[in-house]
Structure 1
């Protein structure tokens, strides 16, 4: 013989299962997102092994490098992030400066930031500044520009 308490627990479980089935059916019936609405990311870089080689920064000075990437015109205001590689004194892994402003053995480090509005930035462009602070023995800087953007890049320039 079933008691009312047993039936109440059974009903609660059945009610929860029915609610889950209803939620699942609703999720299955929703429209999928069109591919055109999904943001895509494009790696943008030059074919050069390094875009800047052995640039000398005097001891205990800060030097800025300006990167500008012009988009392919498919977006009026592309968005992106740079993840360039910066080296000091050589181009092997032991000479790569950290992405987290870690000071190397010579006291040199670098940081980057989006460039403020300037002639370098504008419609169809993104720009960034890489700043290298040389240690007491100076720095010999190598840079490989790499970015990830919401459109393909048409051109990359580096000024310093």
Structure 2
């Protein structure tokens, strides 16, 4: 199917090209990109799926954020090359990121997406977690990576301080 491995510095341009191919122009104007601006991603939780020939078949990245002062991870963007969609690569990458995040001790993860799709991975709607506008609150989803991790967590989602992200 595909080999999933940690994204390496040399993968950057291929991954960005895949995101450009899979997402509409202006993707970087979305509110989630404002949370990523100037903050390095969680390198251990950025993955690339490669096909048998070494081609980039999919990619997923994860970023540190703060929610009302509490640390969290923001999952995305997630992309699968159009010729590989429908093979389950997106799901495999999501499961792998969740497993790695738990192993690294991260308490919680969130994303902006469709509840019917992400619900199968354990993501649920987050009431009281506010993404920068114009994000639809119905699409703000989260998963507890350890029991009770979302208890009492709420407020605005903001960029993680740079020292947290290093």
Task: Provide the TM-score with structure 2 as the length reference.
Answer: 0.27
Q: Give the number of the structure whose alpha-carbon radius of gyration is greater.
A: 1
Determine which structure has greater relative contact order: mean sequence separation of CA pairs < 8 Å that are 6+ residues apart, divided by chain length.
Answer: 1
Structure ranking higher in helix proportion: 2
Task: Provide the TM-score with structure 1 as the length reference.
Answer: 0.27
Structure ranking higher in strand proportion: 1
